[in-house]
Amino acid sequence: MKKIYLLLPAIFLCSYLHAQFKLGTNYSLLIPQGEMGNNINPVHTVNLSFLYTPKIFCQRFSVGTEMGFGNYAYVTKEQDLRFPDGSGINTDVIYTSNVINAALVLRANLAAKGKLIPYIEAKAGTINFFSNVYVADPEDQSSCKPLESKNIIRDNTFFATYGGGVQVDVGLFDKKVTAGKFIIDVGINKIKGGNLNYINTKDIQTHVHTDPNAPVDPGKGEPLNVQFINISTQTIHEHQVAELHNSQLRMIGIKIGMLFKLGNN
């Protein structure tokens, strides 16, 4: 048993010394599919990744992590927030919607060596959708004023992806570059996850006062209301500023980026 305990550190040390590490960055375009595609625009993300290849066992397989930040809406829209009797305000409402994701990565190269190496890849992790709705104070301070400047909508779910791509050695185009040091990474994958709450930023409508207890129209999301106070009467009321939707995470991801080999292994 003592020999096994002595052998394990030697195995880990040998694996480390013969391993290959890559640091990567990429731009990804995430295109919503299905119901989600009807409600939000494509997500633009920037990702950082780290890959570890234990070359002593099989240099075709890599494991690692990836983290990314993205945006799918930054919209300013003037909203007519009035009651049927004409009271109320006109003011700007700013919609900002972002995404943060983190995942574990498993990649299998379909060739051991070469300037062009195709691969297949799978990821699993969590993704967070969050939106800020900022209601600006009106120019006419004698009418209505929002009690909440921001209304944060946040939700997250687990996701999995599968797909593939190709690694292109920059040395293919420039002989002065060390082979395998800089790699162009292009890929496409399919993303599936659980249900998410998010606001409709693809087709923001001008809203008027709504009854929060009224049934939701078919095909529309639930109203997202913000409280306002009438400066003159001190009456508090609500106006709808967005629609809240819930659907499954379904996307197609297209990426292009660079991998940088660390060290000389």
State the pLDDT at residue 205.
Answer: 64
Least confident of 14-18, 70-74, 92-96, 197-201: 14-18
Q: Which domain holds residue 136?
A: 16-262
Residue 2 lies in a domain: no
Closest by alpha carbon to 198, among 31, 28, 35, 27?
35
pLDDT band at 59 (very low <50, low <70, confident <90, very high): confident
State the pLDDT at residue 220.
Answer: 65
State the pLDDT at residue 8.
Answer: 39
The answer on pLDDT for 107 being more than 90 is yes
Residue 1 lies in a domain: no
Residue 9 lies in a domain: no
pTM: 0.80
133 bridge partner residues: 95, 151
Domain total of the chain: 1
Residue 180 lies in a domain: yes
pLDDT, mean over the chain: 80
Residue 5 lies in a domain: no
- The residue among 184 and 234 whose pLDDT is bigger is 184
The answer on pLDDT for 259 being more than 60 is yes
User: Residue 107's domain is classified under what CATH number?
Assistant: 2.40.160.20
Provide the token pair at 76.
């300013």
The answer on pLDDT for 56 being more than 90 is no
Euclidean distance between CA atoms 45 and 48, whole angstroms: 10
Stretch 43-47: mean pLDDT, rounded? 97
Mention every residue, 6+ apart, whose C-beta is less than 8 A from residue 186: 165, 166, 168, 255, 256
Residue 244 lies in a domain: yes
Residue 3 lies in a domain: no
Stretch 82-91: mean pLDDT, rounded? 64
pLDDT band at 11 (very low <50, low <70, confident <90, very high): very low
State the pLDDT at residue 145.
Answer: 67
- The residue among 78 and 215 whose pLDDT is bigger is 78
pLDDT band at 224 (very low <50, low <70, confident <90, very high): confident
**pLDDT per residue as tens digits for the range 113-156:** 888 999 999 999 999 998 888 877 665 555 566 676 666 788 99
State the pLDDT at residue 17.
Answer: 46
Residue 250 lies in a domain: yes
